[in-house]
Structure 1
Amino acid sequence: MNALRPSYQKPTVIGFSAVIRVLIFAGCIILGIALGYFIPLIATWALTLPWVPFEGPLKLIASFSGVWVTVVTSLLGLLAGLWFAEEVIKDTLRVVVSDETIRLEKDGVVQDLSLADISLVFLDGKQLVILGNAGEELARETYEWASKHIAGALTEHGYPWSSGGDPYKNQFRRWVLDTPDLPHTVNTLLQAREIALKKKEKGEANELRREVSKLGFVVKDEETRQYWRAQTTGP
């Protein structure tokens, strides 16, 4: 460990605090219950419109009456609120920074990266990017929560932080089908990845990104557009 920087007993955790998590759950539960409570009234009102989709299910909902209907729909709203809150929290990147590792937690996936394997960390727009010693991307995750805190935490724990963003940004080129400067296998993977991006299949797109990285190339996205560069040993 570097003797010039202090030793931290506890890792720095960045993401939703306990208070924010409670507020998210409380807000989603209240909203879910309220929506569930008013579903029969909403269905009845919607049927008065000249045209409304799902008319059959709406008529079925509006046909029910009684206190038990309100109880059931409110309970369903509560469960929906709990599910939605859990999805919001799960989909938000949580970063745990210690003197030895960076842990990324998102969508139920945990990734641990060692300080010795990291050459640079920076924000590329709303994405947190971690580069390895060969210029490869070890991680690229959307990060919209407390970006100033992540920079401070990483530098305090001794990680190389680039305040100027991506030092390789000028090396990226737009990918088009059958790019002649890329191997056939990489073109095939990027073609499959374009389809995954259009279908919004994030897990598949991330897996294909990792496969491209194994072949020596880095890829990043702007919506469904892909940009690539070759890995390098230095900026």
Structure 2
Amino acid sequence: MPSGLDRTVVADPKWVGPAFLVGLPIAGAALGWGLTFVAEWITGLSWFPFQGLFELVTELPEAVRLIVAVALGLALGIFLALMAVHEMLTVTVGNDRIELHRGDVEESVPRGEIAGVFAEDKRLVVLGHRRQELAQVEFDLDRDRLAAALRRHGYAWLPDGDPYADRLHRWVPGAEGLPRGADALLKARAHALEKGKAEDLRELRGELAALDVVVRDRDKKQYWRLADPA
């Protein structure tokens, strides 16, 4: 676990990023090479998608076909590798704050606002003293390493998950107990959840948090509870 004087960084092992950057382009190039041998067979399958593309490939000279297929596979592999590296999670635990960085999402939570941290349903959640969620991010790192880092810096790690899980209610339109405006936000968020619009989901979660509403997603369903008033 790499550590500095006043912070501990929890992330994937250093070899994971280079493995993506090397392995995925090679796999993509190999896939492109392999497709040159089955392109003609695929054109005979009327149900197979991208028929026009495979028909175009079969019309190319064999040498050109091989070069184009390998180049396209290599480019696809590079793109996927860069995306994978970009989406790798880094949690920086310091004496004064916790920072989360994944993709385009960067969150920094001051120590004084943090009541505890837990990981559940592949999500890392930072809880506040009013039982509100201060930050949340998709989590795929080693829990023991994260727990050790948090304890090293004096933060409360909650090994049993969400301590307020029993307060969650499944959302249905017009649910009672929600503050004004929350039902409309949850309705919009349900649509975003169905369509898989991650940016909209995060933005609407933030708007609900401003109304002291905590929302959790499970199997395309939304569950909510209220934080304590400020």
Question: 1:151 is matched with which residue: 135, 147, 150?
Answer: 147
SS at match of 1:18: coil
Does 1:209 pair with 2:205?
A: yes
Tell me the equivalent position of 2:193. Answer: 197
Q: Following superposition of structure 1 onto structure 2, how do residues 25-64 of structure 1 map, counting pairs within 5 Å?
A: 25-49=21-45, 51-64=47-60
Contiguous gaps of at least 5 residues in structure 2: none
Displacement of 1:81: 0.7
Question: 2:63 is matched with which residue: 61, 64, 67?
Answer: 67
With normalisation by structure 2, the TM-score equals: 0.91
Question: 2:101 is matched with which residue: 105, 123, 132?
Answer: 105
Q: Following superposition of structure 1 onto structure 2, how do residues 100-139 of structure 1 map, counting pairs within 5 Å?
A: 100-139=96-135
Displacement of 1:37: 1.9
Contact 1:8 1:99 in 2 (8 A): no
Contact 2:58 2:65 in 1 (8 A): no
Tell me the equivalent position of 1:225. Answer: 221
Task: State the one-letter code of the partner of 1:9.
Answer: L
Q: 1:145-194: CA deviations, max 9, x gaps?
A: 21221111111111111112111111111110111221341000000000
Matched residues in 2 for 1:82 and 1:69: separation? 20
Matched residues in 1 for 2:48 and 2:29: separation? 24
Contact 1:121 1:128 in 2 (8 A): yes
Does 1:13 pair with 2:5?
A: no
Identity, % of aligned positions? 33
Aligned CA RMSD, in angstroms, stands at: 1.8
Runs of 4+ in 1 over 4 A off after TM superposition: none
Displacement of 1:8: 5.4
Displacement of 1:143: 0.7
Matched residues in 2 for 1:139 and 1:128: separation? 8
Structure 1 residues 38 and 65 mapped into 2: Cα distance closer, same or farther (>3 Å)?
Answer: farther
Task: State the one-letter code of the partner of 1:83.
Answer: F
Displacement of 1:139: 1.2
Tell me the equivalent position of 1:3. Answer: none
Matched residues in 1 for 2:176 and 2:97: separation? 39
Q: 1:191-220: CA deviations, max 9, x gaps?
A: 000000000001101110110010111111
Task: State the one-letter code of the partner of 1:46.
Answer: I
Displacement of 1:124: 1.8
With normalisation by structure 1, the TM-score equals: 0.90
Matched residues in 1 for 2:72 and 2:41: separation? 20
Matched residues in 2 for 1:45 and 1:31: separation? 22
SS at match of 1:179: coil
Matched residues in 2 for 1:27 and 1:8: separation? 31
Contact 1:92 1:143 in 2 (8 A): no
Aligned length: 227
Q: 1:91-128: CA deviations, max 9, x gaps?
A: 23221112222111112221111111111101123211
Matched residues in 1 for 2:144 and 2:38: separation? 43
Matched residues in 2 for 1:224 and 1:51: separation? 30
Does 1:185 pair with 2:187?
A: no
